[in-house]
Structure 1
Amino acid sequence: MKSLRFASARVLLRHETDARLVLPQVSHDLYPLLFKVSFLEEQPEALRLIVRHWPLPILSVGQLLGRTPDWEQDLRRRTCRLCLQALLAGLCDHVRDDRSGPAATPVRYGRPLRLVDLTGLRDSETQECECGAGMGRWARTEALARACVEARQEELEAGAAARRVDVLASAFVTQRNYGVVMDALRARGTGPLALRCMELRADSLPCDKIFDLLGAVDLPVLRRLDLVHNVRMSPGQLEDLLMDFPMPALRAITFPTRVVDVNLHEADDPHLDALALGLAGLPLLQELNLPFSILTGHLRQLLSALQAPLRVLDLSGCELNHVDLAYLANSEHAVALEDLDLSGHSLPALYPATFFKLLHRAALTLRSLRLEECDVRDRHVALVLVALGPCQRLQRLALMGNPISRLGLRRLFAWLAGYPTLRVIEYPVPTDCFPAGTEFPPSDEALEAHDQQKLREVQGELEAILVEAKRGDIATSAPLYGSFDSDVRET
C-alpha cells in the first residue's frame, strides 16, 4: 500500500524543475524514498540529482529498491539501463562536487557518503520499466569500472583529492572488459571511487588473467568466485589458486567445468587431496559447484574436510556412483542442504534407496532440487513423488530432459500442487511431442522438431490442474535449452 510520503515524493519528482530546486533542501531521511520512486517512475535525471546530493553514509541499492514501509513493491529486478547509468553519473557528480569543496554544493549536509553497495540487483528475463532495456551484470561491471577510471583521471587533472567512496560490486569479467576492470582495481587505492568486488565471475579467461584479477581484488571481502565456461585450468592450477590467494570471507565457489577427472589420474593422485585441503581453508564456505567434474568414488575425499556443512551443492554430471551417494546421504551436508543439483545421474533407476534417504534427510531444509536428464520415466514418477514426500518446504523443482509423457506430467503436477511453498516447476517437453524413436535426452535437432501445438495443449492441461487446486501462483515452464541464465545471455 502506498503511503502519503510516497505520493508526495512521486508528485515532487514529476516536476523536474521543482525537484532540481527543492531536492538539496529536502530532509535527508526522505532520500531513500525518493531514490526508489525515481527508479519506479524511470526518471534518470531526478535519480542522478538524488545520488549527487546523497546525504547519508551508505547507499545500498538492494535495500533501497527492496520492500519498504512506504511502498512494498520489490524493484530489485528492475535493472533499467537508463536508471543505472544515471546512478553512476550521479556518483561521479558526487565525488566531483566533494573535490570542488563547499562552493560546489552549498546546500549539502548530513554525513559524508562512504559506501555504495550495488550487489543487491537481481537480473531477470524481462524488464518492467518503460524503456524495456536492462543493464546486465557484465554491462554494469564495465560501466562501473569506466566510472572509477574516469573519476581517478579527473582527480589527477584537477590536482585535488576527493573523499574516497567504496563501491561494492558483483563483477562479471570476460576478455572484452578485462582491461578496464583491471585499471579500476589498480586505481582502488588512489581514486575517489574504490571498486571492491564482493563477487567475481570470470568467464572464458586464461589462468594468468584470473590470477592477475585475484591479485588485484580485495580478497578479504570476496564472498563468491565463479570460474565458468571456457576457463581451462588444471587441478594443479586450481590447487595453486586456493593455496596462494587466501579468501577468508568466501561463501561460494564454482570450479571450472571438468577441472577434476579421477579417470585420468592414478588412485593415489595427490591433486584431489590438495584441492580438499584448499577447500578446507575456506572457513565460511556454504556453496560448492562442481559441474561435470568426474568424481566417481571420490566425493568423500573432496568434501569430508570442509569446516561446515554445505547449503548449496552442484554435482551435475559428476558421474557419481553408489559409494558417493551413500556418503552424501549419510553426511552432515544432507541435513543442511537448501539447493541441490544431481542432474545427469539415473537416480531412481540405479540408486532408489539412497535417493530416498538423501531426500528424507534433506527434507527440512531443501528449497531447490534439480534432476535434469536423470532418466526419470513414467514408471519412476511414483517413486520420485514418494521420495519428495517429506520435502514440503520445496520451492523449486527442475526436471528438464527426462522422458516423461503427458500422462506422467499430469500425475506429477496433481501431486506437486499440494506442496505449500512450491513456486517454480520446470518440466520436460513430454515424449508425446517428439517423433517415435527419439532418444533421450533429445539432441538440439530433436528439440527443434518437437510438436509445438501439442506442447501448448499439454501446458494448458498442466496449468489447469494447478488452477483447479488453487495453485495458480506456481510458475511453470518447459525450457528447451535449460533455465534462464542472465549471465549466459549477456555473453
Structure 2
Amino acid sequence: MVLSLVSLCAKEVVSDHSSSPRWLGSVPRELYAPLLEAAFSNCRPLAIGDLVQRWPERTLAVGKKRRPGQTPPNRLCVQALLLAVVRGLAERRCALQVLDLSGLQSEDECVEDSMGGWSLTVALCSMVLQAKLAAQKGARKDVERERKRSLENERNRGDSASKRDRGSGGLEVEMGIEAREEEEEEVEEEGKKREGGGEQAVMGVRRRMEMQKRNGAAVEQDGGGSSDCESNPNPVLVHICADLFVNARSWERVRGALTSKGPLSLHCRYLRVEELPAPSVAALLSLLPKQGLLGLDIRYSSLGVSGLALLLPLLAPFPHLRSLKLHYCNLDLHRLVPGQEGALKDMSQGLCGLKGLRELCLTALRLPGHLRLLLSSLSQPLEVLELPYLSLTPADLAYLSCSPHASSLRRLDLSENRLDESSLPSLRRLFSQASLSLSQLSLCGCGLSDGLLGALLPSLSCCRALRSLRLALNPLSLAGLLSLVRTAAGIPSLQLLQYPNALEEYEAGLPPVPSSAQLLDWPLSEEVELRDAILFQLEELVRQSGRARDLMLTSDLFNFTKDLVEVE
C-alpha cells in the first residue's frame, strides 16, 4: 500500500515526542485524525495521549477503520487512549462527547502485545469507575473549598466588626454619653437594614459569634459528607460505545461500570458472554440500554432448552439486535427431557420477537429435525446462518432449501453435518436459490467423497457471488481434488478455496471412508516429494485458468488469511 503525503508527514511528526509542545498548539483540527492514525500505526502512545486529550471533534471512532491486513493497536496505545480520555474531562480544549471503540479488540491471540476482548472490557470498566471516583472527589473538594471560603468571609466580616466596636468605644470616651447613644442607634439601624436585605449583619461580639455558629452548622450539613455528592453525580460528559466480553471473572466489574453514574457512560454494541448461567446473562441484559445492542454471543454456558427459553424473550426489547450466536450451550435434543417440547415452543416464540435479526449462529446445539420449528418463527429472512455440529437431518435441509432464507443467504456454514445421497436434491435446490447472494460457504467435515462432491460441483459453479469456499476434512482422492480446483477456478468471484488433503497424502491404514475426526488426527505421509507434486498439480490448474493472482488455495485449517473472507 502506498502512503499518502499526509500520512508520511504525520508519521514523521509523531515520531519525535519532544517536539509535540511546538505543534500541538497550532495543528489544524482536520489533521488530528491522520496524526492519530499515524500514532497508532507506529506505536506512539505518548502522541496518542496528547492528541486524544485535546481532541477537537465531538466523535472519535477507533477500531472500525482498520484496513485488511492491518494489525490491531498495541496494548500500550490502547491504554494511552483510555488514560487520555479521563484526562480530557478536565481539558477545556477537548470537545469529545462520543468515543466509539467497537471492533478495537483483537480476536487473534497470536498477535503480540495486542489487547483481547476480555482485557479491553476490564480496562474500560476500570476507567469508567475511576472517572466516577475522581468526579466525586472533585465534588467533595469543591464543597470543602466553598465551606472554607464562607468561613473566611465570616472571619473577615468579624474582624471589621471588631474594629468598628473598638472605634465606637474610643468615640464614646471623647464624645460623651450623648454621642455614644447616637452611635448605638446608627449601628442598630444599619443592622436592621442589612437583615431586611438578606445579608449577614454584625452588631457586637455576641451577635457575631451566634451568626458564625449558625452558618458553620449549615455549611457542615450541606457539604460535610460524601452522600450528597454520590446522590447528585456529575452529568455524562463522554459516551463510550464498545464490544464487551464478560465471564465469571469480569462480571462484577462490568455490572458496576454499567450501573455507574459518572462523567463516563458505557454502552455495549456487541456482547460476548462465556461460562455464565442463564440468570446472570438475564441480569446483564437488564442493565444494557435497549437502543445500542447489535449482537449477542453466548459461549460455553450450560443453558439448556429452559435457559434459552428464558433468555430469548428478553432480547425482544432490543430493536437493533441483528446477530445472535449460541456456541456450545449444552443443548442436546437427542435426549428426551420432560417439558422439552414446551420449552422448544417457548424458544420459537422468543425468536419470533427478534424483528431485526439477520445473523443466527447455532454451534453444537444438537437439534435434529427441529430446524423448521426455529427458523419458521423469524419474521425476516436471515443473511447469515451457521449450523455446524447440529446433526441436521434430510428433512432439515429440505426445509432450508425451500425456506424464505435460502434466497437471501450471504454466509452459510453446514460444517460437521453428515451429508449423503439423500441430501443431494435439497443441497442442489439450496445452492440454486442462493446463487445470486451466497458469498461464503463452509462444508468442512461433511463426509463428501468424490462422488458426492462431483454431484454438487455443477450447482456450486452457478454461485456467481461466491468468494470463499471451505471444504477441509472431506475424504477426497487426488482425482476428486483436481476436479474441485478446476471447478473453483471457473467461478470468477471466488477468492479463497480451502481444500482437504488428498487421501493419497496420508499414512497407510486410513479407513476407506474416514470421518473428519480421523482425517484430523491421522498423520500425513513423510514423503515430501509426494505432497509437493500434488500441490504443483493444483497450482498448475490455477495458472492455466489465469487465476493465479486472484485465487488463493490453502489446505491449512487455521493459519490462512481471513481478510478476503471478512471484507464484504
- TM-score category (smaller protein): 0.7 to 0.9
More moved, 218-227 vs 178-187: 178-187
1:324 to 396, 400, 404: 396
Q: Where do residues 471-486 of structure 1 align in structure 2 (5 Å cutoff)?
A: 471-480=548-557
1:287 aligns with 2:267: no
Distance 1:474 1:175, change over 3 A: farther
Alignment of 1:316-395 (within 5 A): 316-395=388-467
Asked if the contact 1:149–1:183 (Cα under 8 Å) also holds between the matched residues in 2, the reply is: yes
**Contact 1:349–1:380 (CA under 8 A) maintained in structure 2:** yes
CA 1:85 to 1:58, structure 2 compared with 1: closer, same or farther past 3 Å? same
Name the CA distance, whole Å, in 1 between partners of 2:427 and 2:271.
Answer: 34
Structure 1 position 26, deviation (Å)? 1.5
Q: Decide which of 118, 128, 137 is 1:157's aligned counterpart.
A: 137
Query: Which residue matches 1:218?
Result: 289
2:342 to 270, 282, 286: 270
- Whether the aligned pair in 1 keeps the contact of 2:461 and 2:488 (CA below 8 Å) is no
Residues 133-176 of structure 1: CA distance to partner in whole angstroms, max 9, x if unpaired? Answer: 22222222222222222222222222274752111111112223
Task: Identify the residue that residue 524 of structure 2 maps to in structure 1.
Answer: 450
Q: 1:199 maps to what in 2? A: 270
- State the AA in 2 paired with 1:7: L
Q: Deviation string for 1:217-253 (max 9, x for gaps)?
A: 2233111111112x00121221111224532221111
Deviation for aligned residue 1:347: 3.1
Give the aligned partner of residue 241 of structure 1. 311
Give the aligned partner of residue 171 of structure 1. 244
Question: Is 1:90 matched with 2:84?
Answer: yes
Structure 1 residues 325 and 136: CA distance shift in structure 2, 3 A: same
Equivalent position of 1:232 in the other structure:
302
Distance 1:268 1:241 in 2: 16
Change (3 A) 1:263 1:163: closer
Structure number with bigger Rg: 2
User: Would the alpha carbon gap of residues 471 and 8 (structure 1) be closer, same or farther in structure 2, given more than 3 Å must change?
Assistant: same
Q: Is the 8 A contact 1:40 1:75 kept in 2?
A: no
Shifted more, 370-379 versus 444-453: the winner is 444-453
AA at the equivalent of 2:264: L
Secondary structure of 1:259's aligned partner: coil
**TM-score, normalised on structure 2?**
0.75
Q: Does 1:135 align with 2:206?
A: no
TM-score, normalisation: structure 1: 0.85
Q: What's the CA shift string for 1:314-366, capped at 9, x where partnerless?
A: 12222222222111111110000011111223335331111100001011110
Partner of 1:147: 127
Whole-Å separation in 2 of the counterparts to 1:207 and 1:247: 18
2:243 is paired with a residue of what secondary structure? strand
Greater shift in the superposed pair: 258-267 or 385-394: 258-267
Contact 1:400 1:482 (8 Å CA) reproduced: no
Structure 2 Cα separation of the partners of residues 288 and 126 of structure 1 = 25
Partner residue, 2:515? 441
CA distance in 1, matches of 2:12, 2:363: 51
Q: 1:336/1:406 Cα in 2 relative to 1: closer, same or farther (>3 Å)?
A: same
Question: Counterparts in 2 of 1:15-94, with a 5 A limit?
Answer: 15-63=16-64, 65-66=65-66, 77-94=71-88
Query: Displacement, 1:403?
Result: 0.9
Q: What SS class does the counterpart of residue 412 from structure 2 fall into?
A: strand
Farther-moved stretch of structure 1 (331-340 vs 8-17):
8-17
Indicate conservation of the 8 Å contact 2:247/2:276, yes or no. Answer: yes
Task: Say if 1:414 and 1:466, in contact at 8 Å, map to a contact too.
Answer: yes
The structural deviation recorded for 1:455 is 4.7
Give the counterpart of 1:114 among 97, 101, 104. Answer: 97
Structure 1 residues 337 and 241: CA distance shift in structure 2, 3 A: same
Out of 245, 248, 254, the residue aligned to residue 181 of structure 1 is 254
Distance 1:76 1:165 in 2: 28
CA gap of 1:351–1:221, structure 2 versus 1, over 3 A, is same
Structure 1 unpaired stretches of 5+? 67-72, 103-107, 486-491
Aligned partner of 1:477: which letter?
A: T
Alpha-carbon distance between aligned partners in 2 of 1:332 and 1:2, rounded to the nearest angstrom: 45
User: Cα offset for 1:462?
Assistant: 3.3
Partner of 2:201: none
Task: After TM superposition, give the deviation of residue 389 of structure 1 in Å.
Answer: 1.5
The answer (yes or no) to whether the contact 1:9–1:37 under 8 Å persists in 2 is yes
Q: Residue 80 of structure 1 contacts residue 127 of structure 1 at CA under 8 Å; is this kept in 2? A: no
Moved more, 297-306 or 343-352: 343-352
Is contact 1:20–1:49 with CA below 8 Å preserved after alignment? no
| 1:429 positional shift | 3.0
Equivalent residues of 2:554, 2:560 under 8 A apart: no
Q: Deviations over 1:289-322 (max 9, x none)?
A: 1222233222211111211000011122222222
SS of residue matched to 2:457: helix
> Which secondary structure does the structure 2 equivalent of 1:397 belong to?
strand
2:400 and 2:406 in contact (8 A); partners too: yes
Q: Deviations over 1:66-111 (max 9, x none)?
A: 4xxxxxx55764232232222222222212x24xxx4xxxxx26xx
Q: Which is further off, 324-333 or 157-166?
A: 157-166
* Aligned twin of 2:158: none
After TM superposition, give the deviation of residue 381 of structure 1 in Å. Answer: 2.9
SS at match of 1:354: helix
Following the alignment from structure 1 to structure 2, what is the Cα–Cα distance between the partners of residues 172 and 24?
A: 38
Contact 2:269-2:292 at 8 Å conserved across structures: yes
Write the letter of the residue equivalent to 1:156. Answer: Q
Given residue 361 of structure 2, which amino acid in structure 1 is its aligned partner? N
Structure 2 residue matching 1:308: 3-state secondary structure: coil
Instruction: Flag structure 2 segments of 5+ consecutive residues without an equivalent.
Output: 143-233, 563-568
| Counterpart residue number, 2:191 | none
Tell me which amino acid in the other structure corresponds to 2:102: T
User: How many aligned positions are there?
Assistant: 461
| Counterpart among 539, 542, 551 of residue 466 in structure 1 | 542
Deviation at 1:56, TM superposition (A): 0.5
Name whichever structure is richer in helix by fraction.
2
**1:442, distance to aligned residue in structure 2 (A):** 4.7
What SS class does the counterpart of residue 25 from structure 1 fall into?
coil
**Contact persistence 1:348–1:383 (CA under 8 A):** no
After superposition, what is the alpha-carbon deviation per residue over 1:173-202, rounded to whole angstroms, capped at 9, x for unaligned? 222322322222221xx1222211111111
Between 381-390 and 13-22, report the one with greater CA deviation.
13-22
| CA shift in 2, pair 1:47/1:179, >3 Å | same
Q: CA deviation at 1:8?
A: 2.7
Is the Cα contact below 8 Å between 2:122 and 2:253 reproduced in 1? yes
In 1, Cα distance between equivalents of 2:489 and 2:62: 35
Secondary structure of 1:393's match?
coil
